[in-house]
Amino acid sequence: MSGKDVKTSAWSGSRRLLKLLRDQMKGKSTDQDRLRQTVQLIARDMDAEVCSIYVMRPGDFLELAATEGLKPEAVYKTRLHKGEGIVGQVAALALPMAVSDAPRHPNFAYRPETGEEPYQSMLGVPILRSGRVLGVIAVQNVTHRHYHEEEVEALETIAMVLAELISGGALTVSAIETQGSLEEREKPDRLKGLCLNEGLGIGQAVFHNRGIVISRIIADDPEDEVRRLEVTVAEMRSSIDEMLTRTEIAALGEQREVLETYRMFAEDRGWVGKITEAIRVGGMTAEAAVQKIQNETRSRMSKISDPYLRERLADLDDLANRLLHHLLGLGDEKLELPDEFILLARTLGPAELLDYDWDRLKGVILEEGSPTAHVALVAQALELPILGRCRDVLSRIREGDTLVLDATNDQVFVRPKEDVLKTLRLNVKDKKVRWEEITAARDVASVSLDGHRISLNVNVGLLIDLPHMHAAGADGVGLYRTEVPFMVRQSFPGVADQADLYRKVIDRSEGKPVVFRTLDVGGDKVLPYWSTVAEENPAMGWRAIRIGLDRPALLRQQLRALIRACQGRELNVMFPMVAETAEFLAAKALLDRELERETSIGGVLPKKIRVGAMLEVPALIWQLPSLCREVDFLSVGSNDLLQFVFATDRGNTRLARRYDALNPGVLKLLRTIADSTTAAGVDLSLCGDMAAQPLEAMALIGCGFRSLSMPALQVSAVKKMVRSLDVAQVTEFVSGLLDEADHSLRGRLEEYAKKSGVVI
Ligand code: PEP
Ligand code: MG
């Protein structure tokens, strides 16, 4: 193979090139022009006919963003998957590749639109930033050129400069940044990972090492840089020593040993030696040399599967960051941090974790990491939730995003909607106090003074709520709002995904019954990935079972998932917003079809199936005789029922206090419902907010309700009320008030409770 061996003094040319690059970034040209000029400069400097920049796009593919030498029409058209072609291979391995006979290379991927037929040799280097591949720079030559090591290094340095320009904001090219529309990037999302330490934390996303921007790459005098490095390494070592003597760390016990090992790395001559060599041979500044060695460590790390070795390399990565902080004078500078934040990093060392303010730090999410990672051990000691192996965390989350880290269930909710956030906050705020409140009455029976058993259940929407059911000593899940897990995702979950989730809910309920409500979206509950038509009156619009019946495939998929999740166990399912008995029958027919389908393919069916409806639409009250013949149970959704009964939007704050749930008319209505269902032998429950207050719950029992469902936190208070209540007496008292003209019976009920010793 003959080829043109080019000059080996590529380096001196590169210094000039780097200066030119920097100058042109200061100019007024557009980002796309800057990219084009960049590839022209590199091609000229490297004696190459072609220079192209490919950028990494979400979904792990590379897109041609600028080229000198290939056909301009190919820009933003040519795409390669990570691993595909030589360019894709460079991105996949995060390593440079020099090939003198590219078309014959087993990895070569021909793209006719680029017009690359004449080019024989190729050199590609990754554009790396914090261990992430942002893109690839590739040069090509017509000849079978052998690229020298110095040339590879020179192109790597250029790639480093580009990466820094991008992260420093000088090249904020839409071309390099994630494309997706702004709207797309505002949507809620949920990422899966691996729990490294259990717990739940809410806070704003903060990227680790966001302060590191290297602006000087080429050394004016390499020997000066070596001296700077030596001084800084000594400084770093003493700051590690100092950290180890801090009282909080000394108290960490065995975790302290982890940090001791870490100090040994800082003493490691080999590591510092490599950095020194990069300064002397490459003519780089100390910080550029540290980053070069760090990039090498990272690409080694990506290929090592041995967890022990990976850990050692992660420690080195941590040290390199620490050294960069010192070199850039960021050591003691406290970056402004939000009051509550979640730290995001590719990897994180134990010492780096300890650098943050523990009061504000609410959790950690890593792209890598294992349960035995040092950082996980330290997080355990600090009782800090930590999620590892969370792929794409650095590209799908933006600085400042609101995050709910649910490490216990291997997930993080990104930019959750306010209602989801509200549910989650309940689990976090004053964790200790709340937990005490929840468990207060766990072991006592929910039985009234005169021996009536009142079933108390919980309303849940996410897996994290389930432990609370057990802690509260509740009888089961009275309402599982299936739309909540749909609301925190980016796309509609398929049958397998749904079945998987419902199975977890059943498993974690440990034999206690769970009532699944089918999807109740529309109205105020919007799915981020579902574009709905704006409606004049969404609460009374196309929502819940109305969507389910108009789009039966959707409802059938959910029912199929529920059947599969409950194989050999009990399935309790109810439909929301039913307005007619006929609607209930239509929904039940879909369930029957799914059961037949499952039987026909040899699936295992649930051992018992109970089908019910939510009573939220007043029209259903006059159909109770027919409805009670069809349903196994009914659950009153008082939130919706009251908004329709009083004709008041439940979300309108101006109307919030206008009508009271303890209005005599409402209680009379509820009494009618209880009487009808008791007569028909249909189980009845109430799962709206009304059940959650002891006074309201007392009135409900007085109206004939024997089962209530509420947030777990309220169970103990309601249980206390039940245990101090005489059911026969309160029933008589309430019955005597139903035809009164009061705006609300609240005052009279409070008085009754006080007089009779009912704990409200
Ligand atoms: C209700 O309407 O009372 C109810 C429990 O359902 P949601 O609050 O989810 O609409
Ligand atoms: Mg409702």
The DSSP string of 561-622 is HHHHHTTTSEEEEEESS--SHHHHHHHHHHHHHHHHHHHHTTPPPPSEEEEEEEE-SGGGGG
Query: What tokens does 739 get?
Result: 């035809």
522 C-beta closer than 6 A to ligand 1:
no
- Residue 521 C-alpha to ligand 2 middle, in angstroms? 10
Give residue 425's Cα distance to chain centre. 15
639 C-beta closer than 6 A to ligand 1:
yes
Bridge partner list, 516: 480, 573
Q: Which amino acid is residue 206, in one-letter code? A: V
- Residue 455 C-alpha to ligand 2 middle, in angstroms? 21
Query: What tokens does 149 get?
Result: 């090591």
Contact of 116 with 140, CB cutoff 8 Å: yes
CB neighbours (10 Å) of residue 256? Answer: 15
Contact of 645 with 638, CB cutoff 8 Å: no
Q: Which amino acid is residue 272, in one-letter code? A: V
- Look at ligand 1, atom 8, and give the residue with the nearest C-alpha: 639
User: Which pLDDT does position 297 carry in this prediction?
Assistant: 75
- Residue 536 C-alpha to ligand 1 middle, in angstroms? 21
Please tell me the chain's helix, strand, coil percentages from 3-state DSSP, rounded to the nearest 5: 50, 15, 35
Question: Of ligand 1's atoms, which has the minimum distance to the CA of residue 483?
Answer: 9
- C-alpha to C-alpha distance for 751 and 758, rounded to whole angstroms: 10
- Residue 2 C-alpha to ligand 2 middle, in angstroms? 77
* Model confidence, pTM: 0.58
Question: Of ligand 1's atoms, which has the minimum distance to the CA of residue 523?
Answer: 10
Query: What tokens does 293 get?
Result: 């060695």
Residue labelled with tokens 């194989």: 567
Tell me the mean pLDDT per 10 residues along the chain, length 760. Answer: 38 60 64 82 91 84 91 90 91 89 86 91 88 88 91 85 68 43 65 88 86 76 92 85 68 58 66 86 86 77 64 74 84 69 84 78 87 72 86 80 90 87 70 74 96 96 84 96 79 91 95 96 72 78 93 95 97 98 98 97 97 98 98 97 93 80 98 98 96 97 98 92 98 98 97 97
CB neighbours (10 Å) of residue 516? Answer: 22
Question: Of ligand 1's atoms, which has the minimum distance to the CA of residue 481?
Answer: 9
Q: What DSSP string runs through 209-248?
A: TTT------B-S-HHHHHHHHHHHHHHHHHHHHHHHHSHH
481 C-beta closer than 6 A to ligand 1:
yes
Give the burial string for 302-315 (b: 16+ CB within 10 Å, else e).
beeeeeeebbbbbb
Q: Which of 417, 524, 543, 639 to mutate to test the pocket of ligand 1 (most atoms within 8 A of CB)?
A: 639
- Look at ligand 1, atom 4, and give the residue with the nearest C-alpha: 637
Angle between helices 149-167 and 286-303 (to 10 degrees): 100
525 C-beta closer than 6 A to ligand 1:
no
- C-alpha to C-alpha distance for 356 and 337, rounded to whole angstroms: 9
- Look at ligand 1, atom 6, and give the residue with the nearest C-alpha: 637
Q: Which value, to the nearest 10 degrees, does the dihedral of the CA atoms of residues 724, 730, 731, 736 take?
A: -170
687 C-beta closer than 6 A to ligand 1:
yes
Question: Of ligand 1's atoms, which has the minimum distance to the CA of residue 638?
Answer: 3
Q: Where are the beta strands (DSSP E) in 328-433?
A: 341-345, 361-366, 386-388, 402-406, 411-414
688 C-beta closer than 6 A to ligand 1:
yes
Angle between helices 495-508 and 552-565 (to 10 degrees): 40
- C-alpha to C-alpha distance for 209 and 356, rounded to whole angstroms: 11
Kindly state the DSSP code that residue 453 receives in the 8-state scheme: B
Pick the closest to residue 544 from 534, 535, 536, 554 (CA basis).
554
- C-alpha to C-alpha distance for 441 and 454, rounded to whole angstroms: 14
* Beta-sheet pairing, 50-57 with 633-636: unpaired
Q: Who's near 37: CB < 8 A, 6+ residues apart? A: 24, 29
Alpha carbon of 713 to those of 158, 435, 469, 472, 585: distances in Å? 58, 8, 9, 7, 35
- C-alpha to C-alpha distance for 327 and 754, rounded to whole angstroms: 70
Question: Residue 487 CA: which ligand is closest?
Answer: 1
Question: Of ligand 1's atoms, which has the minimum distance to the CA of residue 641?
Answer: 2
Question: Residue 459 CA: which ligand is closest?
Answer: 1
- Residue 577 C-alpha to ligand 2 middle, in angstroms? 7
Question: Of ligand 1's atoms, which has the minimum distance to the CA of residue 637?
Answer: 3
Contact of 474 with 455, CB cutoff 8 Å: no
- Residue 577 C-alpha to ligand 1 middle, in angstroms? 9
User: Which pLDDT does position 174 carry in this prediction?
Assistant: 43
- C-alpha to C-alpha distance for 316 and 318, rounded to whole angstroms: 5
CB neighbours (10 Å) of residue 162? Answer: 25
483 C-beta closer than 6 A to ligand 1:
no
Query: What tokens does 121 get?
Result: 């040799």
- C-alpha to C-alpha distance for 615 and 633, rounded to whole angstroms: 10
Pick the closest to residue 549 from 587, 588, 594, 603 (CA basis).
587
Query: What tokens does 400 get?
Result: 């400042």
Q: Where are the beta strands (DSSP E) in 432-488?
A: 455-460, 477-481
- C-alpha to C-alpha distance for 651 and 399, rounded to whole angstroms: 31
- C-alpha to C-alpha distance for 726 and 449, rounded to whole angstroms: 5
Contact of 400 with 187, CB cutoff 8 Å: no
- C-alpha to C-alpha distance for 288 and 285, rounded to whole angstroms: 5
Considering just the CA atoms, what is the radius of gyration of the chain in Å?
32
693 C-beta closer than 6 A to ligand 1:
no
- Residue 640 C-alpha to ligand 1 middle, in angstroms? 6
User: Which pLDDT does position 527 carry in this prediction?
Assistant: 74
Contact of 578 with 604, CB cutoff 8 Å: no
Q: Which amino acid is residue 134, in one-letter code? A: L
- Look at ligand 1, atom 3, and give the residue with the nearest C-alpha: 637
- Reported residue count of the chain is 760
Query: What tokens does 326 get?
Result: 């010192």
- Residue 593 C-alpha to ligand 1 middle, in angstroms? 27
714 C-beta closer than 6 A to ligand 1:
no
- C-alpha to C-alpha distance for 743 and 662, rounded to whole angstroms: 8
- C-alpha to C-alpha distance for 409 and 200, rounded to whole angstroms: 9
Q: Who's near 247: CB < 8 A, 6+ residues apart? A: none
Helix (H), strand (E) at residue 193: none
Helix (H), strand (E) at residue 470: helix 466-472
- Residue 515 C-alpha to ligand 1 middle, in angstroms? 13
Contact of 584 with 627, CB cutoff 8 Å: yes
Judged by phi (left if over 0) then psi (alpha if -120 to 50, else beta), residue 488 lies in alpha
- Residue 688 C-alpha to ligand 1 middle, in angstroms? 5
